Amino acid sequence: MMPTTLRCFSPRGAAAPTLRLLLAALLGAPLAPVSAAPPGCSGVAPSGELIATRVPGTAPASAEAGLYEGPVWIGDALYFSHFTFGPGFPSRILRLGPDGKLGTAIDDSGSNGLAVDARGNIVAGTHKFKGVSRFDLVSGKRSLVAGAYQGKVFNSPNDIAIGADGTIYFTDPSFQRAAAPGGQDATRVYRVAPGGKVTVVDGGLANPNGIALSPAGDMLYVSGGGGGGERGVLRAYSLVRGAPGKGRDLVSGLAVPDGMSVDCLGNLYVTEHTAQRLRVFSPAGKELAVIKVDANITNAAFGGADGKTLFMTGAGALWQIRLDLPGKPY
């Protein structure tokens, strides 16, 4: 069953953003982000400097180096990937239940970033299979959603966003390319149509990483670029009937940008891996807040009974912080 927080991201009223985008394209006018809050969304975005705390009992059982990644809230539990840096980047999906106990939900998943589809299944970027996979949470059975582009497998699908119509957008950097043979000649952002056709959203962003959709579903956001330092960007793409336009840099100077999430007002929660922080930006790209952690950070998602707890994954660490408004569960 889908979490109640998803109601903030209902496609109702989508006709207005679509008309706005079409008029902007016809008139050549600059695109302004949608500011209206979706039905049922209330609260105030975080501001200033905040500090997240570690979730008790979630440290890895092994001292082997690795990362927690791709948090997603489903029902009453948090799911996330745990992969290590051994040959093939072994990975599994963990579950943090309402009782605070951590256990394995899916073993040998080969996964990185996670999302949840309309049926409550996990959709994952799976570096082991060099494709996008779907996992049935009851049986654990895996099926392949997208496994190739122009006859070649992907590099290492990383993060996922899913539109209201089932369209899947994902990033394909080269970070875990060595997990299995083969790959693409470039790192790209891809779109998988409901019928399964794979097309390129952006082929000019080096190592795209985090990806998310606006609450209205009319904007796609991707972070990436550069190999380190203050060279990363947050790029925005307008969507008309699910088809992305040319991207524009909304925020620049990010320090190794990684995954992200979105609150119900459309504010963006972007992790900066080695800077050990998450920064919150308005839909216009204005910095609103900084949330600090005590290790390298990878991704973020909203969860909890009211959807107002922000969970963050990182280098063998899971953090949480209470906020005043709900957001997207992955």
pLDDT tens readout for residues 140-172:
999 999 999 999 999 999 999 999 999 999 999
Contact assessment for residue 225 and residue 234, using Cβ atoms and an 8 Å cutoff:
no
Digit-coded pLDDT (tens) for 14-66: 333 444 434 344 434 334 444 456 777 989 999 999 999 999 999 998 777 89
Q: Which residues pair with 237 in a beta bridge?
A: 220
- Convert the pLDDT of each residue in 111-128 to its tens digit: 999 999 999 999 999 999
Contact by Cβ (8 Å): 326, 307: yes
Asked if residue 172 lies in contact with residue 150, where contact means CB atoms within 8 angstroms, the answer is no
Burial grade of 220 (CB within 10 A; 0-12, 13-18, 19 or more): buried
pTM of the predicted model as reported, rounded to 2 decimal places: 0.88
When pLDDT is averaged across residues 310-322 and rounded to a whole number, the result is 97
Query: Six-digit token pair at 317?
Result: 């660490």
Residue pair 127/91 in contact (Cβ under 8 Å)? The answer is yes
Find out whether 157 and 170 touch, Cβ atoms under 8 Å: yes
Average pLDDT, the chain: 89
How far apart are the C-alpha atoms of 297 and 49, rounded to whole Å?
16
